[in-house]
């Protein structure tokens, strides 16, 4: 709840108050940050909140998922020291010549040219009565030697949605077979409460779709915007000038 309440986005700056109040949230955001990746295709996509998983042997397990390029192309854009980055700043850097959508255009061209293929993988661990609650913490990675990743399915992308199609696209955590499910949360402080709340967000999705019918679709994200204005931009430009002089 605090994550949504303390976003307070303005001119591309957001979650500053949240990061001050919850340092662990800041660490999680820093780990996910990428700067100047060459393509959406070579990034890795993780589901870090575990789900309930019951296999044919009827042994209860927990499961996480990830998606990587089928050819395991090296990931780009990883920070050596994320602590040096202004995590809450989503604006284009003053010296950046590319627009905000450069990765979207690159990916669209890639899909038209050759498509994009991924390997979906699953990581499981057997549920125990005395499990440490921290194993449900999405900031804590499971030991890959004890709980290795296994190939699950190949995903092929042959089409990129246009703006309106992407606005209408949604998903629900309730669309799962009986062998999968949400791990029951004991309280709002339980790590599993995150997926529990997500599974009860259907009304928000319906409201969003209704807003499109009543008010139309929002404007597409522009290639460039006017968020690089004011004192922040002046300070960054001055830093660049000082670096060029030294």
10-residue mean pLDDT profile of the chain (246 residues): values are: 71 82 86 91 95 94 97 93 83 82 96 97 96 93 97 97 94 90 92 91 91 90 66 58 62
In a domain, 16, yes or no: no
In a domain, 83, yes or no: yes
In a domain, 12, yes or no: no
- The boundaries of the domain holding residue 77 are 33-245
In a domain, 102, yes or no: yes
pLDDT at 58 (0 to 100): 94
In a domain, 233, yes or no: yes
Report d(CA 240, CA 155) in Å as an integer: 43
- Is residue 153 a contact partner of residue 120, using CB atoms and an 8 Å limit? yes
- Beta strand pairing call for 60-69 and 116-126: antiparallel
pLDDT at 25 (0 to 100): 84
pLDDT at 221 (0 to 100): 84
In a domain, 3, yes or no: no
User: What's 212's domain CATH number?
Assistant: 2.40.180.10
Q: Pick from 58, 2, 23: which is nearest to 178 by CA?
A: 58
In a domain, 217, yes or no: yes
In a domain, 53, yes or no: yes
Cα dihedral 185, 191, 193, 198 in deg (nearest 10): -140
Number of structural domains found in the chain: 1
pLDDT at 151 (0 to 100): 98
């Amino acid at each position: 709840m605090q994550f949504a309440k303390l976003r307070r986005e303005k001119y591309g700056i957001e979650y500053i108050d949240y990061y001050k109040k919850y340092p662990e949230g800041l660490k999680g955001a820093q780990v996910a940050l990428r700067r100047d990746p060459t393509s959406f295709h070579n990034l890795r996509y993780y589901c870090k909140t575990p789900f309930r998983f019951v296999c044919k042997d009827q042994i209860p397990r927990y499961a996480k998922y990830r998606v990587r390029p089928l050819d395991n192309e090296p990931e780009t854009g990883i920070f050596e020291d994320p602590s040096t980055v202004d995590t809450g700043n989503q604006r284009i850097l003053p010296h950046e010549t590319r627009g905000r959508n450069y990765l979207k255009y690159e990916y669209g061209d890639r899909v038209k040219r050759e498509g994009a293929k991924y390997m979906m993988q699953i990581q499981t661990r057997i549920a125990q009565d005395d499990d440490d609650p921290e194993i449900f913490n999405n900031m804590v990675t499971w030991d890959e030697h004890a709980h290795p990743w296994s190939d699950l399915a190949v995903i092929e992308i042959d089409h990129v949605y246009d703006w309106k199609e992407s606005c209408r696209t949604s998903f629900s955590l309730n669309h799962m077979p009986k062998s999968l499910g949400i791990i029951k949360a004991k309280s709002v402080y339980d790590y599993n409460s995150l997926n529990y709340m997500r599974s009860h967000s259907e009304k928000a999705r319906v409201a969003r779709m209704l807003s499109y019918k009543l008010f139309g679709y929002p404007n597409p994200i522009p290639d460039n915007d006017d968020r690089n204005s004011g004192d922040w931009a002046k300070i960054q430009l001055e830093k660049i000038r000082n670096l060029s002089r030294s």
